[in-house]
Structure 1
């Protein structure tokens, strides 16, 4: 029995795992999810429209400058309709206009000028007009870009894009 060879045992190597790369990946994932969570938060545009909330018991306006809102409806085939105030009792009746210098820009400039003059009499010279832009699903993207360009050209900084339509507005777009 003494002639049997001895079992050779292999030398055990120390097992050391380098976690440097894992830490780097972990930090990248944490940063990614923090940024993604921040970008998911909804951005809200606060419209300060005061007591004119569209309710039935709103006071009637004595001067057209008291209502600072103008609604623009964008329809199919480059249709553009605007009105001032509420559609049920508008200060300025709904009107079809064209895009450009002699169309909606002319109306926006005139309306904004009258509102700024009225606000200046009240001691609030920087309180301008608020425009509500309502594009339909059938309007094209170019029309929305055109009306946003008009806001920039006229200098209106308070505007909102609202995708919801009242039944009266839908009827108005279908009728005219």
Structure 2
């Protein structure tokens, strides 16, 4: 608590008359205010050092031959200018591939549908089962990795559309996704929708 001290002054002469006037002087103890200041400084230094920027983990593929994706688990998203989102299921060289246009909320529904479909129809291979038993992980990890989403932005795609699509992968807990450039077959499919 602040201590306030008062001092009375002595008499003062005004216009020749001696008159007593009480004069009060204040003395405020600032020690608690200094303590509070140091506590605030300590708090802000501590919180600023604890709040470090977060970045996405980047998993690079191992060197070696190209890995193929099962047609039943392949889902390709093409990003075009003006936030255009197109998708198709399966491999692009398949003759009956149908490319569809979607919105951001629509692609989320399609990702959820495709993930549930792949998990439901997944038949675990022996290598995945052995790996799950050795690592003591559930077989559901193998099922979730059966879906591979390929995100292919064109040169006209905006940066915010790419970031939004990567956020969708995190939100929907897609275990395997790839960010790559579209090839000639993808661009041909994209041109056929316009």
TM-score by length of 2: 0.53
Question: Which residue matches 2:79?
Answer: 74
Corresponding residue number in structure 2 for 1:88:
93
Which residue does 1:18 correspond to in 2? Answer: none
* Shift in CA distance, 118/44, structure 1 to aligned 2, threshold 3 Å: same
Whole-Å Cα distance in 1 between the matches of residues 180 and 96 of structure 2? 21
Structure 1 regions of 5+ residues with no counterpart?
A: 1-41, 53-64
Match of 2:111 in 1: 108
Give the total of aligned pairs.
120
Q: CA RMSD in A?
A: 3.0
Can you list the C-alpha shifts for 1:99-134, whole angstroms capped at 9, x where unaligned? Answer: 12xx00000000000111122677743222111100
Return the alpha-carbon distance in structure 2 between the equivalents of residues 135 and 72 of structure 1.
8
Contact kept, 8 Å, 2:153 with 2:162, in 1: the verdict is yes
Matched, 1:149 2:179: no
Q: Which residue of 2 is the match for residue 59 of structure 1?
A: none
* Bigger CA radius of gyration: 2
Distance 1:92 1:171, change over 3 A: closer
* Paired residue secondary structure (1:77): coil
Bigger shift: 75-84 or 103-112?
Answer: 75-84
Q: Name the CA shift for 1:91/1:67 in 2 (closer, same or farther; >3 Å).
A: farther
Change (3 A) 1:156 1:109: same
Unpaired segments of 5 or more residues in structure 2? 1-57, 130-138
State the partner residue of 1:125: 140
Q: Distance in 1 between matches of 2:66 and 2:74?
A: 8
Which secondary structure state, in structure 1, belongs to the residue aligned with residue 151 of structure 2? strand
Aligned to 1:167: 184
Q: 1:82 Cα shift? A: 0.7
Q: Distance in 2 between matches of 1:51 and 1:43?
A: 17
The alpha-carbon deviation at position 49 of structure 1 amounts to 8.6
Alignment CA distance shift 1:120-1:153 (3 Å): farther
Deviation at 1:44, TM superposition (A): 2.2
